[in-house]
Structure 1
Amino acid sequence: MIPHGHPVMTEADIAAAAGLELHTWRRRHGADFRARVPVTNPGERLRLYDAAQAQAYIEGQPIPPAPVPEPHPEDLLSVDETADALGTDASTVRAYASTGYLPKGVELHGRRWWARHVVQERIDAGDQRHHPETTGAGRRPGDPRNRAPRPRTDDRVPAVAAELAAAEADARTVTADQLAERYGVSRRTGERLLAAARQQLQERS
């Protein structure tokens, strides 16, 4: 979660603010920083830190106490937190957002987030996807027209495909590990993005 009124930073943001490459910052300062500054989103793959605490660390100042914000309608929930609130899983949340059942959310730090009030409004509205009053008069349960449209292709794939094309021209390589680092995902997801991008390039040729 990104609490309303409390900006956060990723480790890449912190390294940039310190004037260092991410791998250099992690080698020199990563362990000490993580020991002194707690993440704001325990359990998430992409580590987020309170911006005020991170900035104090960078400047060598005393680190202020971690904020304890009250829940706010404008808090931003991650895909996993949104899935928990809706009683589903992350892939279904992404499908909801691509089909309009849930707003698309906002993109920050390479991830998509949904405001707490948006998620609550979806909960309060109830499941309206497959009922006759919302899918068309006379449609019976099981009618194929009641099914939500299939989610669109991952919007990261075209960007990876473009990078692959540029890398080929420059005799460079793009690896799954690089993609996992960039997007804050697992290596397996990085491999999936890489495979999908290669497939997209093959289809264009």
Structure 2
Amino acid sequence: MTEDDIATVTGLPVHTWRRRHAAAFRARVPVVNPGERLRLYDEEQAHAFMNGKHWPTATTEAADDTQWPTAVPPGTEHPDDLLTDKETANVLGIRDATVRAYATTGYLPAGTERHGRTWWPRHTAEARRDADDQHHATPGRKPGDPRNRAPRPRHDPRIEEIAELTTRTPLTITADVVQRYGVGQRTAQRLLAAARTRAEN
């Protein structure tokens, strides 16, 4: 949840909620995305705080028999955790730009739009990581792809004609080829160079 979401649940404008409650809330409920501009909080923890069940910190114990939601131990991740492109990239061992590219090509699901950015469930990233195809390990075209073949050389009958002309008239120049075949200057130069090579062989 964002602080806007939390303020909406409490029925207050966000600026009023921040003035009255933000300091106490932030002291008790940690953000799930430290260092990010948009603060995000665990929904279960936020609701526990809003219901008066202040989430116990590591240095405090509950003063009564309140049943607190069980915190996730460090290093234990939930499969439904929503990950950013950078966090998804860390799971897959690739760059975050590649995660976004995978999402557009369908190699990775498109993700979920929340709070103005795209998120991927941890189980989706881990399933992609553990799949047998390992697309990111073999980028580019696969072996045997017909597009890997070298292009066939094109036969241009004009080259043979120009080669024959150059043997008869060594002073054949680009302008002659342009006029004779109605081609541009660069094409004429290419044809003339190929013809001279052929005549020398």
TM-score norm. by structure 1 comes to 0.53
> How far apart are 1:15 and its partner, in Å?
0.6
Q: 1:123 to 1:51 in 2, by over 3 A?
A: closer
Q: Given that residues 50 and 66 in structure 1 are in contact (C-alpha distance below 8 angstroms), is that contact kept between their aligned partners in structure 2?
A: no
SS at match of 1:49: coil
- Do the aligned residues in 2 keep the contact of 1:53 with 1:66 (CA within 8 Å)? no
**How much does 1:113 deviate?**
1.6
Percent identity over the alignment?
56
How far did residue 95 of structure 1 move? Answer: 2.3
The DSSP-based 3-state class of the residue aligned with 2:146 is coil
Q: Is the 8 A contact 1:132 1:138 kept in 2?
A: no
CA radius of gyration, larger in = 2
- The SS at the match of 1:132 is coil
User: Which shifted more, 72-81 or 31-40?
Assistant: 72-81
TM-score (norm 2): 0.54
**For residue 175 of structure 1, what is the aligned residue in structure 2?**
none
Distance 2:78 2:23 in 1: 32
Aligned CA distance change for structure 1 residues 75 and 60 (closer, same or farther; 3 Å): closer
Q: Distance in 2 between matches of 1:50 and 1:26?
A: 18
Helix, strand or coil at the partner of 2:147: coil
1:62 maps to which of 42, 54, 67: 54
Alpha carbons 1:72, 1:116 under 8 Å: kept: yes
Q: Does structure 1 conserve the Cα–Cα contact (< 8 Å) formed by 2:28 and 2:54?
A: no
The alpha-carbon deviation at position 106 of structure 1 amounts to: 1.9
Structure 2 residue runs of 5 or longer lacking an equivalent are 56-67, 152-201
Spell out the pairing of 1:124-163 with structure 2 (5 A cutoff): 124=130, 125-127=133-135, 129-132=139-142, 137-140=145-148
User: 1:130 corresponds to which letter in structure 2?
Assistant: G
CA 1:75–1:129 in 2, change beyond 3 Å: closer, same or farther? same
Partner residue of 1:46 out of 38, 49, 60: 38
Deviations 1:13-35 (A, max 9, x none): 10101111122222222222111
Tell me the C-alpha RMSD between the 2 structures.
Answer: 2.8
Alignment of 1:47-196 (within 5 A): 47-63=39-55, 64=68, 67-68=71-72, 70-124=76-130, 125-127=133-135, 129-132=139-142, 137-140=145-148
Distance apart, 1:129 and its partner CA: 4.6
How many residue pairs were aligned? Answer: 132
Offset at residue 60 of structure 1 (A): 3.1
- Return the offset for 1:72: 3.8
Higher RCO (C-alpha 8 Å, min separation 6): 1
Structure 1 counterpart of 2:161: none
- Distance in 1 (CA, whole Å) between partners of 2:125 and 2:51 is 37
